[in-house]
């Protein structure tokens, strides 16, 4: 089995072994024009005509209504200030794909989005149904921020600026090409990774992992930066943040290389209509399959906790906003998985992760 851990700082050395294997894999998701692509069949992202078709369907077909603001349950976060102890490991679901992890004495934040709209402007576009819990100003000192890609519901310009100002010593770990965005917004300590590359910062070992998605914030930057998930480890505790992804065949390899995991964060929402979304977003049943792929290489290991994310915050697609948890739980039961390993969190809820 190839180890993803290359050295104690960064990756990309011209040597044999794991790095050479990673380089071969990396070549598959690089297009001839220098952009990035998904290396699996049936992964071409739909074009603008299909976007118009989807929007037309949204207005002509019956669809679920957007719930009122504040519809979903809220919990009081149980956050340690300024940090938890070295042996502690907790996760707090802030909303959508934003998760605060307190592990190994570090504060790690994923895809921080705190604006009211996932949009280039704050007067138009998907508006929050649930406010972030806790708000950005209530976060503890941030050591590391993981950014999976540059879409507006994952990369929030105002949040990056505020974090960079309030937490100037934060390390930002991002996929290739994303550093230019956040450097212009005030971030300073930035590490860019290709798929399977890794870095170690403050004792946290982070590997960028393959994802099936795309990137772009305007018409001219489609797929000019990479997208990824992250596997990370500290004090022999391992976590996986899938970022934004459709199902693909390499989750078993991620589990083999980077697991066994104690905690995984997988998207379960924003999946309808399937003819459009199946190449970019996993549905609930696929999320459970991803979980099964991740754990399959380690049959004797304790099952990790699965946090279902990417739902209940922004109305991005056509399914009812309360449907993803119900369908995920139904598939979980049908698969015979342990009930207490599935965590459908309340906004702001904190849970301890056993080692």
Q: What is the pLDDT of residues 198-221, one digit of tens each?
A: 999 999 999 999 999 999 998 889
SS3 of residue 7 by DSSP: coil
For the chain, the distance separating the N- and C-terminal CA atoms, rounded to the nearest angstrom, is 23
Write down the mean pLDDT value for the chain. 90
pLDDT tens profile 164-181: 999 999 999 999 999 999
Q: Are 282 and 290 in contact (CB under 8 A)?
A: yes
* pLDDT at 26 (0 to 100): 54
Give the H/E segment covering residue 351.
strand 350-352
CA distances (Å), origin 140, targets 181, 240, 296, 309: 24, 22, 35, 21
pLDDT tens digits for 218-267? 888 999 999 999 999 999 999 999 999 999 999 999 999 999 999 999 99
Looking at the predicted structure, is the pLDDT value of residue 61 above 80? no
Q: Among 237, 242, 240, 166, which residue's Cα sits nearest to residue 203?
A: 237
Model pLDDT, residue 52: 75
Residue found by looking up tokens 């957007």 in the block? 66
Query: CA 269 to CA 309: how far, in whole Å?
Result: 7
Residue 101 host element (H or E): strand 98-103
What pLDDT is attached to residue 57?
73
Domains of the chain plus CATH, in order, are 49-352 (3.60.15.10)
Q: Quote the CA–CA distance of 241 and 65 in Å, as a whole number.
A: 30
Q: What is the pLDDT of residues 90-135, one digit of tens each?
A: 999 999 999 999 999 999 999 999 999 999 999 999 999 999 999 9
Nearest-angstrom CA–CA distance, 302 and 238: 12
Residue 45: pLDDT band by 50, 70, 90 thresholds? confident
pLDDT at 59: 66
Structure tokens at 99: 């998760």
């Amino acid at each position: 089995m190839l180890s993803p851990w290359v050295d104690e700082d960064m990756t990309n050395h011209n040597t044999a072994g794991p790095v050479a294997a990673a380089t071969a894999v990396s070549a598959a998701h690089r297009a001839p024009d220098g952009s990035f692509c998904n290396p699996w069949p049936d992964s071409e992202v739909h074009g603008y005509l299909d976007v118009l078709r989807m929007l037309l369907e949204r207005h002509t077909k019956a669809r679920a209504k957007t719930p009122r603001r504040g519809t979903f349950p809220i919990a009081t976060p149980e956050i340690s200030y300024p940090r938890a102890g070295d042996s502690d490991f907790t996760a707090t679901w802030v909303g959508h794909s934003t998760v605060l992890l307190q592990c190994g004495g570090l504060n790690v934040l994923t895809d921080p989005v705190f604006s009211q709209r996932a949009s280039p402007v704050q007067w138009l576009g998907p508006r929050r149904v649930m406010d972030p819990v806790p708000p950005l100003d209530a976060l503890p000192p941030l050591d590391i921020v993981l950014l999976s890609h540059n879409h507006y519901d994952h990369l929030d310009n105002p949040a990056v600026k505020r974090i960079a100002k309030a937490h100037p010593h934060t390390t930002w770990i991002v996929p290739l090409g994303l550093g230019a965005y956040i450097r212009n917004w005030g971030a300073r300590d930035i590490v860019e990774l290709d798929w399977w590359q890794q870095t170690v910062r403050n004792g946290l070992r982070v590997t960028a992992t393959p994802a099936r998605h795309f990137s772009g914030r305007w018409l001219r930057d489609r797929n000019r930066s990479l997208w990824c998930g992250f596997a990370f480890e500290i004090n022999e505790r391992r976590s996986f943040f899938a970022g934004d992804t459709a199902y693909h065949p390499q989750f078993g390899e991620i589990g083999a290389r980077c697991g066994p995991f104690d905690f995984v964060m997988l998207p379960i929402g924003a999946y309808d209509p399937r003819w459009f979304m199946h190449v970019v977003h996993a549905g609930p049943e696929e999320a459970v399959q991803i979980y099964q792929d991740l754990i399959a290489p380690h049959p004797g290991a304790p099952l990790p906790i699965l946090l279902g994310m990417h739902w209940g915050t922004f109305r991005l697609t056509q399914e009812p906003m309360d449907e993803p948890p119900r369908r995920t739980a139904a598939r979980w039961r049908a698969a015979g998985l342990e009930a207490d390993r599935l965590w459908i969190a309340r906004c702001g809820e904190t849970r301890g992760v056993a080692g």
